[in-house]
Amino acid sequence: MKTQRLIVGVSGASGIIYGMRALQILRELNVETHLVASKAAEMTLNYETDSSIAEFRGMADQVYKMPDVGASIASGSFRTMGMLIAPCSVRTMSEIAAGVTSSLLTRAADVVLKERRRLVLMVRETPYHLGHIRTMERLTEMGAIICPPLPAFYTDPKSIDDIVDQSVGRALDLFDLDWQDTRRWGEDLEKGRRG
């Protein structure tokens, strides 16, 4: 693949900042981004940020509409590094696990799985009941990675932005993307053990 490409899905769970920050970081890393966001995600944008929908969409290189199941990201022949869904609602997670592709968001995720590419789900709801956990197990068996955005307090975060950045940086690690601001134990943390 000449150009590094990553699909970024954003569902309607709380935490749209994770998807927005991922798009910003991927731009810094010169990774071409292909965004598909649910209507609920755009509603969450209004609840949780001061950004407009146009500003949000402008963070991506290519934006797709949810009903556009004929989009390039709906085909396995369109080569990508995989897909990050940030945040990922339980509904979106469940549709992917069931193979239900009622929208471009879940269709693109299904394609990523069938092509044996990396699918990372930043599942953003809690607490989980047994059905959620079994769905996560099923997705893990299918090759997806469940990566809830949990704070890493060993990084000594000073702000919410620090917490978001670390979570997104660690999710991007799963695509072998090394963002310089991801804080690493044993490398750049004063309290982290070395050698």
Are 42 and 17 spatial neighbours (Cβ–Cβ below 8 Å)?
no
Q: Kindly list the averaged pLDDT for each block of 10 residues, start to end, along the chain of length 195.
A: 91 97 98 97 96 97 95 97 98 95 95 98 95 98 97 93 97 96 81 57
Neighbours of 137 (CB within 10 A): 12
The CA distances from residue 9 to 65, 89, 189, in Å, are 11, 11, 31
CA dist., res. 27 & res. 110, Å (int): 25
Neighbours of 45 (CB within 10 A): 23
Measured on CA atoms in the order 35, 38, 39, 41, is the torsion positive or negative?
negative
C-alpha neighbours within 13 Å on the C-beta side of residue 172: 30
Domains for the chain: give ranges and CATH numbers.
Answer: 5-173 (3.40.50.1950)
CA dist., res. 17 & res. 12, Å (int): 12
The CA distances from residue 11 to 2, 4, 71, 129, 152, in Å, are 29, 23, 18, 20, 23
CA dist., res. 176 & res. 153, Å (int): 23
Neighbours of 142 (CB within 10 A): 14
CA dist., res. 36 & res. 18, Å (int): 14
The pair of structure tokens assigned to 104 is: 């471009």
Q: What is the pLDDT of residue 186?
A: 80
Beta bridge partners of 120: 84, 145
